[in-house]
Structure 1
Amino acid sequence: MKRVLIVDDATTVRMYHRQILEAAGYAVAEAANGIEGLEKALVDTFDLFVIDVNMPRMDGYSLLAALREDARSSATPAMIITTEALERHRERAAQTGANLCLLKPVDATELVVYADMLTGGASA
């Protein structure tokens, strides 16, 4: 079973993404901010990161940059999901190492399709 770490400061968003991904067969862990997400990523192994941009303590870009610098997580696929719709935000996500940048709210089917695409599927 593939493991996903969802990092978002909004509890309802984390719950929404968790329900969708667990229903699709993924094991899901959560973090409420970038620092907590980084701590979890450094002590555990994940197959996908789902990261919000605007969070307290450490934003999603800083978290992703730190993950890309660590050998254990540098190649792990990462999906940025944000309310920031400007092209410069997409560009920054890509420059920081995101494999994909989606706008909130994400359609449930779309989230699963992209998670499967980035990980090879929940049970793969």
Structure 2
Amino acid sequence: MNLQVLAVDDSRTMRDMIRFALEPVGFTVHTADDGIHGTEVLSQIEPDVIITDINMPRMDGFGFIDAVRDRSEHRSTPILVLTTEAAPELKMRARAAGATGWIVKPFDPMKLVKALQMVTG
């Protein structure tokens, strides 16, 4: 199962951790360092699932989720929020914007893999 993943996070360390967690189990990981870069990468690939941080420069995760959902071809692409934030109101805001799920950093690599497998069916 070769799923395409777009991981958007301003932390190079987080992008590397996501890549190290996912590539060994067969995911192809594309990365972007903020929401604007994420929308640029999104124009070039067809991800099966998107992972995004919330707190990023230029365009935050909420803006990025909105930008993804504005594209008809990505209205149903699963989006997982991977963030240090755990506030219920932020989770509700992310869901309202169109996020599929929420994972708090630091993450367990196997839980991330399982979450991606669940949302991609």
Q: TM-score range by the shorter chain?
A: over 0.9
Structure 1 runs (4+) deviating above 2 angstroms are: none
1:106 alignment counterpart: 107
Q: Deviations over 1:36-82 (max 9, x none)?
A: 00111123210000000000010001000110010121110000011
- How does the TM-score come out when normalised to structure 1? 0.94
2:63 alignment counterpart: 62
Report how far residue 32 of structure 1 moved: 0.5
1:5 alignment counterpart: 6
Report how far residue 15 of structure 1 moved: 0.2
Matches within 5 A, 1:1-124: 1-120=2-121
Contact 1:7 1:50 survives alignment (8 Å)? yes
Counterpart of 1:29 in 2: which secondary structure? Answer: strand
Letter in 2 for 1:115: L
Which structure 1 residue ranges, 5 or more long, are not aligned? Answer: none
Q: CA RMSD in A?
A: 0.8
- How does the TM-score come out when normalised to structure 2? 0.96
Report how far residue 87 of structure 1 moved: 0.6
The number of residue pairs the alignment matches comes to 120
Counterpart of 2:26 in 1: which secondary structure? Answer: coil
Report how far residue 20 of structure 1 moved: 0.5
Contact 1:42 1:72 survives alignment (8 Å)? no
Contact 1:38 1:63 survives alignment (8 Å)? yes
Which structure 2 residue ranges, 5 or more long, are not aligned? Answer: none
Contact 1:41 1:73 survives alignment (8 Å)? no
